[in-house]
Amino acid sequence: MKDYFKYFDKFTFVLLLLLAVISIFLIYSAGYSSHETHYLKQAVWLLVSLLVFFIVFALKIDFIFRNAFAVYLALIVILVLQIVLGGTVARTKSWFRLWGIGFQFSEFVKIPLALYLAKILTQFEVIDWKAFVKLMVVIVAPVALIILQPDMGVSFILCSFVPLVILLKKIKPAVLVISLLLVVFSGIIGWYSVLRPYQRDRIISFLNPSEYKTSTGYHIIQSKIAIGSGGLGGKGYLKGSQSQYRFLPARHTDFIISTIGEEFGFINTSLLFFVFFIFFYRQFKFNFKNDEEFYFIYLFNGLILFQFIINVTMAIGFFPVLGISLPFVSYGGSSLLSLFIGEAIVFRIKINTYLT
């Protein structure tokens, strides 16, 4: 037990906890004027996430990897049942309610998917046709089901596994060319056959939000106003006009970074980014002995980094609004819990590396 405490990455864990605690205060501010209680729910979810973190951390890594595919299949079945039997909440079927508590199972797919992809990558020296087909089937299956719910944010984030896999392994040139052509072809098919009109409008409005300022471009315009009005030092905690007067949509979820920018300004927002930078630096700068463990670390944290970049660029108008949250900070119990579970596995791998 002493060895576990000795090698436990306490500094990175404090960073993780710091981001989650900051989140509660930011969510409180975002809902302050309308007396919302999202911050209390987030606090409860944080306690649950911490409890589950240490439960998962106590599991053996071999057990986790051995059961990854079974959990992956179970979540696939749940996603199918949600589409067939689930009720619609906010135009999607991605939510499951139990005793008044909402769960978004699509958020949890990233964990077994990253684990199983890591196992597959150890089976091939180079990504040939056989490896490519196997990897794509494993990724596309949950992505397609989540698109049908529809949840463009989560499905888009899961798609980040494709470039991450290519970065981790050598790929045959012919396979790379075909994969790029498939991406283009899938994008065209998806645009005309899968995306709903309001989803296409969101993407189009990103190019010229002022033309859609009363509809799908409203989010981007208000977000830019909030961030710009914060200046260097911000307006002060609980004093953001865009968030307190509710001009800013999704101010506690997808656009929480805009709330931060307005109330705390560029300097303090940069400090938050610095915390993220240190977190990612410490998670990536580590030598792992086992290939599948190495791949999981990079796949899972690479996905979080990708999500972070997309959320920030979305808030400043450099990326279409797809409903992507800021990791560890945006309101959302399912998202927070899934991230803590994944990081528990990361921390466990680090311990194993020292003890073996």
SS (H, E, C) 36-101: CCHHHHHHHHHHHHHHHHHHHHCCCHHHHHHCHHHHHHHHHHHHHHHHHHCCCECCECCCEEECCE
Q: What is the pTM of this model?
A: 0.93
* Interatomic CA distance for residues 315 and 226, integer angstroms: 10
* Interatomic CA distance for residues 247 and 255, integer angstroms: 12
Burial class (CB in 10 A: 0-12, 13-18, 19+), 289: exposed
What are residue 92's DSSP bridge partners?
A: 89
Q: Residue 82 has what pLDDT?
A: 85
Alpha helices (H) along 86-212: 110-121, 129-148, 152-158, 161-168, 173-189, 197-207
The pair of structure tokens assigned to 354 is 């020292």
Q: Residue 201 has what pLDDT?
A: 77
* Interatomic CA distance for residues 106 and 158, integer angstroms: 10
Contacts of 74 (CB under 8 A, 6+ apart): none
Residue with tokens 């790379």: 176
> Helix 110-121 vs helix 68-85: angle between axes, to the nearest 10 degrees?
140
Contacts of 42 (CB under 8 A, 6+ apart): 23, 24, 27, 331, 333, 336
Residue whose C-alpha is closest to residue 16's, from 353, 345, 329? 329
The pair of structure tokens assigned to 244 is 């307190």
- The DSSP secondary-structure symbol of 194 reads I
Give the SS3 label for residue 171: strand
Residue whose C-alpha is closest to residue 165's, from 296, 277, 341, 349? 296
Q: Residue 31 has what pLDDT?
A: 86
Helix (H) or strand (E) holding 234: none
Strands (E) in the chain, as ranges, are: 96-98, 101-103
Q: Residue 8 has what pLDDT?
A: 86
Spans of the chain, pLDDT less than 50: none
- Asked whether the beta carbons of 156 and 113 are under 8 A apart, the reply is no
Residue with tokens 């709903």: 196
* Interatomic CA distance for residues 291 and 129, integer angstroms: 21
CA distances from 191 to 185, 278, 296 (A): 10, 37, 31
